[in-house]
Chains A and B, each alone.
Chain A
Amino acid sequence: MSVQIATGAPDGDRLEHLLERSKAPVQPGAWGIRGRLLVAALAAVVIWGILAWVWQLKHGLAVTGLNDRVSWGFYLTNFVFFIGISHAGTLVSAILRLSHAEWRRPITRLAEMITVVALVVGAGMVVVDMGRPDRLQYVIMYPHLRSPILWDVLSIGTYIAGSLLYLYLPLVPDLAILRDGHVGGRIRQRLYSVLALRWHGGPEQRRLIGRAIGIMAVVIVPVAISVHTVVSWIFGMTLRSGWNSTIFGPYFVVGAIFSGIAGIIVVMAIFRRVYHLEEFITEKHFRYLASLLLVLGLLYAYFTLSEYATVGYKMQVGDASLLSALLTGRYAPYFWTFAILGMVVPIVLLALPRTRTIRWIVTAAVLVNLGMWLKRFVIVIPSMALPLMPYEWGTYRPTWVEWSITAAGFAGFALVFMIFARIFPVISVWEVEEGWEAEDAESFAPVEAPLAAGATILVGEPS
């Protein structure tokens, strides 16, 4: 299935080929007829979702299945899910960069794109959830810093700004390539030449961009961790059973990286196939990411066990009824679908040598993503439906408005991705090239940084 990099070919040819391939999506007519149909379909779903939101704005959240008992539902689930996916970029491009995992080079751009797009979609879900989105600016005008929502605004805001910068910096040399290669019409040329910041690739510029990317890689990691920590604290700072947990911060961070890696694998597989990038994104990349996904999957399983075992042993009143609803009651189908299809099956698939093929790795990644959406659903909804007073259980039946807006969130994610890939190269050309240069140099003097050695232990021998 995979095609290894033609290591025997001279660098010039290899580079030509890479340039050609990575520019392919940017060329006129690159989408083809099927691509255009897909874009049209995605756009239709997004427009339908926007219409649903307009309907909701007009009639209020009464058009949703939300109520005074279950006052958070699909939108919050989507929010946590997309913010989780956004951890893809940070992991691959920052952590692997810091640990000198050379194999990361062809997939960093995709990962960073996922981060930015997922953050925007995720933040959008919160706005959709607001009863008064017209007062969004009040969060800045009248900030009440004691509220975890403010921590989220600050943290996610910083993360969006940082991720944009982190996506943009390594893009500059590639934009210069597009500028110099006269790709696209007048408008695009203008865009490329403005954004390329007079990049000419001199030694001083290379040194500076290397430093800037290095600094951003260090800065973005704690920001990313803070983001999912404070997202979890929206739940963790309340007194509700199921949310009132001390491990929610790390639990959510691990879950975010888990679903983020799965997100990368899925996006990588799609792009590899659609844009014929088999030469650069190889089975090796899937296998290495599969190892990471396996590690994170095991970690997540461990956290899940810790979370439920410690409350399940003591069986306090509220916790007990929540647990029985999750494990054997009304939410059991969702919980066990997550636990088995979203966690156990992927872990087995990723662990068995026989199923460590691209096909099965991608299958596992898709299952993880579906499972993690469900997991967020069973985190948000049952704790809300649980009676805090002598009530019956609350009920939540999402309406067409919530389904439409959720579908639009996913379609919008794909659409922005396609449009982005139409304008910018999906593989970081210069970084891959730099990797080849380093590789060649290394074959004369093999020096391994300690961090790289750590990465090797974690994910296997690079190339």
Chain B
Amino acid sequence: MIGKSDPDAVLRDAQQADAEDVGRRVFLRNAFIAAGAATFGSKTVAFADDLMRGSDEPADDVPQWAMVIDMARCDGCRVCTKACQEAHFTGDQEWIKVFEVTDEAGNIVFLPRPCMQCENAPCLNVCPVGATYRNDNGTILVDHDRCIGCRFCIAACPYGARYFNWGEPENPPGAALARYSPEFPVPHRKGTVDKCMFCAHNAMNGKLPVCASSCPMSAIWFGDLKADIATNGLETVQLSWLLGNRNAFRLKEELGTRPRVWYLPGHGEHSKVVLPE
């Protein structure tokens, strides 16, 4: 959790992250080829490319969604949680959960936690059937027709952002009418994993995520890393400026998950939030 002050640095980090991810994939690919070539010969090269294809680079003009949560504005009313639950018929699951935490200065602050949509997503890596995947916008989605309910992703997620449908989900009449898609995973299915997906259904239609549009304090910004733009529904700003000017930080930065959710500290420029590891 490092506060960033230079606006360019933040954006550069985001771009550098892409480069690092490519580096890691190349490493994995080459390691695989080296191991495989000894055993199966040249076919492994094609096979290795096939294996790593899951995370192709998106085209330049595709938006890369990001979220910025202003903790100075959040008053912990939890309207976002309720709005999300109603919009997605999630029942008790809190896809965006608001924690009450004490920052370094000893102030009580609120920490809303959606899915971090990590660029190096532990949940995506460990899914045995590829049910968890990344769409072109960099959002992590779950294909509920594919999920086998092993819950490895729940064990792997460092942010506790994933929820399991332990029993038959209570799908209200409205939910039963919905046509299922990973972007709008309703009706929910027993024995599969659910989580926040940045309201991919809204993003496709140029609308803000429900948490952002419902927030009475306009504390949640949603934006595009590629176009460097963000809005909270009232104002529209340059994303890198927002991040750079307010000491933005990400949760558990040291884990290398590279979340696409940033936080702007509340109650003073330099207060950071200490989380359990």
With A135-B148, A136-B148, A144-B54 already in contact, the answer to whether A388 and B276 are too (CB < 8 A) is yes
CB of A456 closer than 8 Å to a CB of B: no
Whether B166 lies near A61 (C-beta < 8 A) is yes
Query: Which partner residue on chain B sits nearest A149 by CB separation?
Result: B128
Whether B164 lies near A132 (C-beta < 8 A) is no
Whether B127 lies near A147 (C-beta < 8 A) is yes
CB of B99 closer than 8 Å to a CB of A: yes
Q: 0/1 per residue, B143-165, Cβ < 8 Å to A?
A: 00011111110111111101111
Count of chain A residues with Cβ under 8 Å from any Cβ of B? 50
Residues of the B chain whose Cβ atoms lie less than 8 Å from the Cβ of A344: none
CB distance from A237 to the nearest CB of B (A): 7
CB distance from B41 to the nearest CB of A (A): 18
Whether B191 lies near A147 (C-beta < 8 A) is no
CB of B277 closer than 8 Å to a CB of A: yes
CB of B275 closer than 8 Å to a CB of A: yes
Residues of the A chain whose Cβ atoms lie less than 8 Å from the Cβ of B274: 317
With A142-B130, A146-B51, A238-B156 already in contact, the answer to whether A390 and B150 are too (CB < 8 A) is no
Contact of B276 among A138, A144, A146, A387 (CB under 8 A): A387
CB of A239 closer than 8 Å to a CB of B: yes
CB of A145 closer than 8 Å to a CB of B: yes
- Interface of B: prevailing SS: loop
Residues of the A chain whose Cβ atoms lie less than 8 Å from the Cβ of B126: 146-149, 237-238
Contact of A60 among B28, B99, B168, B275 (CB under 8 A): B168
CB of B255 closer than 8 Å to a CB of A: yes
CB of B269 closer than 8 Å to a CB of A: no
CB distance from B190 to the nearest CB of A (A): 5
CB of A306 closer than 8 Å to a CB of B: no
Q: Which 9 A-B pairs have the closest CB atoms?
A: A131-B149, A131-B191, A318-B277, A62-B167, A149-B128, A62-B166, A144-B130, A147-B128, A60-B167
What are 30 residue pairs bridging A and B, where the CB atoms are less than 8 Å apart in the complex?
A: A60-B165, A60-B190, A61-B149, A61-B167, A62-B167, A66-B166, A68-B163, A68-B164, A72-B151, A130-B150, A131-B149, A131-B193, A132-B192, A135-B147, A135-B149, A138-B129, A138-B146, A138-B148, A139-B128, A139-B148, A144-B54, A147-B126, A148-B152, A237-B156, A238-B122, A239-B122, A240-B158, A319-B277, A388-B157, A390-B276
Q: Chain B residues in contact with chain A, CB under 8 A?
A: 28, 51, 54, 93, 97, 99-101, 111, 113, 122, 125-130, 146-152, 154-160, 162-168, 190-193, 255, 257, 274-277
Q: A138-B148, A147-B128 are in contact. List 19 more A-B contacts (CB 8 A).
A: A60-B165, A61-B191, A62-B166, A67-B166, A71-B154, A131-B165, A142-B130, A145-B51, A146-B54, A149-B126, A149-B150, A316-B277, A321-B276, A387-B276, A388-B158, A388-B159, A389-B160, A390-B99, A390-B100
